[in-house]
Amino acid sequence: MTLQVEEFRKDYERVVKGMYGLSVEEASPFQLYNALGAYVKSFAGEHWSRTKTEYEKKQVKQLYYFSMEFLPGRMLKSNLLNLGILDVVREGIEDIGLDFHSIVQAEEDPALGNGGLGRLASCFMDSIASLGIPGSGSGIRYRYGLFQQRFIDGHQVEVPDNWLRNGNVWEVRKENKAVNVRFGGQVYMAEQKGRLIPVYENTRTILAVPYDTAMIGYQNELVNNLRLWSAEIPPEDYVHYSSISAQQEVNQLTEVLYPDDSNYEGRILRLRQEYFLCSAGIQSIVRYYKKLQLPLTMIAEKVAIHINDTHPALCIPEFIRILIDEEQLTWEQAWESCKKVMSYTNHTIMQEAMEKWPIEMLKAEVPRIYQIIEEINRRHIEKKLPLYGEELTYQTAIIREGVVNMAHMAIIGSHSVNGVAQLHTTILKNEVLKPFYEMYPTRFNNKTNGITQRRWLQLANEELTQLIDEKIGTAWKKKPSELTILKGFVNEDETLKQLEDVKLRNKKRFARYVKEKMDITIDPNAIFDVQIKRLHAYKRQLLNALHIISRYLEIKENPNAAIQPRVFIFGAKAAPSYLYAKQIIKLINAIAELVNNDPDVGDKLKVVFVENYGVTLAELIIPAADVSEQISLASKEASGTSNMKLMANGALTVATLDGANVEIRNYVGEENIFLFGLTSQEVYEYYENGTYSSRQIFESNPRLIKVLNTLIDGTIPDIQEEGRVIFDSLVQYNDEYFVLKDFEEYISVQREVDELYQDKQAWYRKSLWNIANSGPFSADFTIMRYADEIWKIDSQMPEIEL
Ligand code: 26Q
């Protein structure tokens, strides 16, 4: 079915009138957006219901991707693209005389995630639908997303993200699919008809209401579902909810996303959120499966459940609970099914990010679940003790030292554990999860992360997309491996020049944004150097900042020296409770204040820290980037995904050999990436022999002395406290993330960057080479491997070939 521009215009004008009683000329951008959203939703509705019916009729095996976070970004353009009507709709809108861009911008960007993990979940939803894999997402409909970030005097200030203020045109409330979730109280086992069944007392019941959003496949007429759960007071249970405090407890449950990434705090509300998602999601799966009229012991043939980090790991005991308490399976039956159904992705090796819940909390909040965890643990120990002895078995216990180790439960209760990049998986096997690897060697596997080129190339960088189309045709859009054909153009001067032009236009677009929002003038001919990711010490935004200070000092010492102009661009939110990260934000903003206003510096050096970095800003920044900063301490970044997005948009990577930077290096070759710094092995050696002395490095490096002194000598304005804390962390407290160790090599590799940029042809040759090698990082490949090797689910599109 092809949509005609004329037909669209008529339909759209009718929708606007129907919804608002206004003509398109009278409607506001938001109203125009909302009406277009409603139109798109009804356009996709046919496929949505057909897909669902087909899955049910064919009884296909389905995947359920559980995640506490989804970061989909604005959905209007990506839905139009995937439906194959983006061009027609845009033309129709512009024919009417409306501004398509302002309609697109009227959409809120749902920030229901923190960063990499949440965005990965959304890239995966796009790939799953686009590959025709029957699968849905399961998450929470937070009333407030990740806070919006403001800078006041260079300090981060958090503002609530009221993203639902004007409603959400994409969601469909499914009240008839609501389920009850039980919390608290006491539980004891009683005999009934020869079976032990749990009897509950004083529990509170909360209603979980699903809101469904269409996940539209790329031009394949397939529409999957993202189901987000919202907590409500059960209408029939008003007796228990007469008090304000009881009502508040319910409203709080799905009120707000926890803003801490990679630094877990054991808050009771977070535990409730996790159980809420798991219980609602599993109940809904079992209810669907029962409709198929198949024996429950065969559920693993129709259902795969994936848990995105340990956050939804309570799926495991909840699944067992439902099968034994409510469906009367034996423990052994339930346990065997559970392991077959469940699979788990680990996203971190950072100890402080590992979820460990105090026993007392679990007992109080989810007493029956705690009993089941105890039983899983007891059986695990009983079985493994004779095989592996005390030490190893004890190391793998789920319950230990008063806490439940969620990663241990996730591994023991599933059939697959995967890391998110080669190096990360190797470290999991050999270091972090070593005892488990000895016990379950075949469970461990790698699935290097990926990104969806649909959003990160086709939508975010239309000009580059057009250039690629001109050179190699359009097949790469369905077959990302075809991007390698671009390798044939690296010696074509004309192509390199065209690539340069595209980059320049994207840089100008970003420069306009910076001028308008921040009133900073940046020169599009400068190198745009980009570091965009959550602010965390291990990601070492501080190393980047020290490099900027070093350049600043060089300019001040020698104001007339010729130097390659550079704009340093940062986007990063810090967890509200992460003081050190906030101090680094303040430092970078203070450096920006100093540098951007120094007449000696001019265009040679500018620093831009964009406020409120998120998916929408990423779409603006990434196409404009020349340099991609991937400078985490080796071994600490599980994968990274901005590295892949930036590469696909032609940025050259400055990197440590960490996370997926290793795979990027392997594809592009050493000559097409700027590597520096310690290797993960060297980092581990330092840990083992304990010989790292940051003070020694500091004292023996005159440049470092000069640079670090600016933190405490008043050179940088208004950072008395922050400067001292940061200085001490580096010199006094032995520099936890080896910033000083890697500093000198970083400076020298950055000099190579400047040199290469003098030769535009050489630069864009490498840039094009990077684009040409970005195909393997398509999330489509990643998802194919998950589907084949872990979920054992077939695509509904048998002809598909990537
Ligand atoms: C846990 C408990 C309580 C509150 C919050 C959390 C929590 C929330 C989010 C812990 C961690 C996260 C997010 C982690 C994350 O984004 N990790 C990133 O995942 C990416 C996708 O695999 C990787 O590319 C990054 O390397 C990794 O840091």
3-state SS track over 467-519: HHHHHHCCHHHCCHHHHHHHHHHCCCHHHHHHHHHHHHHHHHHHHHHHHHHHC
| Distance, CA of 682 to chain centre | 28
Smallest CA-to-CA distance from 732 within 679, 681, 696 is with: 696
Question: Does residue 743 share a domain with residue 655?
Answer: yes
Long-range contacts of 689-693, Cβ-Cβ distance < 8 Å, separation of 24 or more: 692/734, 692/735, 692/738, 692/741, 693/734
Indicate the top mutation candidate among 256, 268, 314, 348 to test ligand 1's pocket, ranked by most ligand atoms within 8 A of CB: 348
Question: How are the residues of the chain apportioned to helix, strand and coil, as percentages rounded to the nearest 5?
Answer: 55, 15, 30
Q: Is the CB of 310 under 6 A from ligand 1?
A: no
Give the model's pLDDT for residue 263: 67
Question: Does residue 491 share a domain with residue 423?
Answer: no
Contact 385, 391 (CB under 8 A): no
84 in a structural domain: no
Distance CA 570, CA 614 (A): 12
Q: Which atom of ligand 1 is nearest to the CA of 115?
A: 16
6 in a structural domain: no
| DSSP letters for 242-286 | -SHHHHHHHHHHTTB----SSS----HHHHHHHHHHHHHHHHHHH
C-alpha 264 – ligand 1 centre gap (Å): 9
Domain count, the chain: 2
Question: Does residue 593 share a domain with residue 460?
Answer: yes
Q: Which atom of ligand 1 is nearest to the CA of 263?
A: 10
Compute φ and ψ for 660, nearest 5 degrees: -75, -5
Question: Does residue 649 share a domain with residue 607?
Answer: yes
279 in a structural domain: yes
Residue 393, both tokens: 């078995």
Residue whose CA lies nearest to ligand 1 atom number 24 = 640
Contact 189, 160 (CB under 8 A): no
Ramachandran category for residue 42: left, alpha or beta (phi over 0 → left; psi -120 to 50 → alpha): alpha
C-alpha 281 – ligand 1 centre gap (Å): 21
Question: Does residue 476 share a domain with residue 405?
Answer: no
Q: Is the CB of 48 under 6 A from ligand 1?
A: no
Smallest CA-to-CA distance from 664 within 646, 683, 682 is with: 646
Q: Is the CB of 347 under 6 A from ligand 1?
A: yes
769 in a structural domain: yes
Residue 205, both tokens: 């019941």
Compute φ and ψ for 283, nearest 5 degrees: -60, -45
Q: Which atom of ligand 1 is nearest to the CA of 345?
A: 22
Question: Does residue 513 share a domain with residue 366?
Answer: no
Question: Does residue 475 share a domain with residue 329?
Answer: no
Question: Does residue 526 share a domain with residue 385?
Answer: no
15 in a structural domain: no
Residue whose CA lies nearest to ligand 1 atom number 3 = 264
String of b and e for 256-269 (b: at least 16 CB within 10 Å)? bbbbbbbebeeeee
Q: Which letter does DSSP use for residue 537 in this model?
A: G
Question: Does residue 491 share a domain with residue 428?
Answer: no
Average pLDDT taken over every residue of the chain: 97
Compute φ and ψ for 575, nearest 5 degrees: -60, 135
Q: Which residues of the chain have pLDDT under 50?
A: none
Residue type, 334: A
Range of the domain at 439: 59-74+109-449+784-791
350 in a structural domain: yes
500 in a structural domain: yes
Known catalytic residues? 347, 533-534, 539, 641, 645
Question: Does residue 231 share a domain with residue 282?
Answer: yes
Identify the CATH number of the domain in which residue 590 sits.
3.40.50.2000
Q: CA triplet 694, 697, 700: central angle to 5 degrees?
A: 145
Q: Is the full-model pTM beyond 0.95?
A: yes
Question: Does residue 466 share a domain with residue 435?
Answer: no
Whether ipTM exceeds 0.95: yes
Q: Is the CB of 259 under 6 A from ligand 1?
A: no
C-alpha 262 – ligand 1 centre gap (Å): 5
Distance CA 740, CA 53 (A): 59
Give the model's pLDDT for residue 230: 98
| R_g of the chain computed on alpha carbons | 27
Question: Does residue 494 share a domain with residue 426?
Answer: no
Residue whose CA lies nearest to ligand 1 atom number 4 = 264
Smallest CA-to-CA distance from 109 within 575, 612, 645 is with: 612
567 in a structural domain: yes
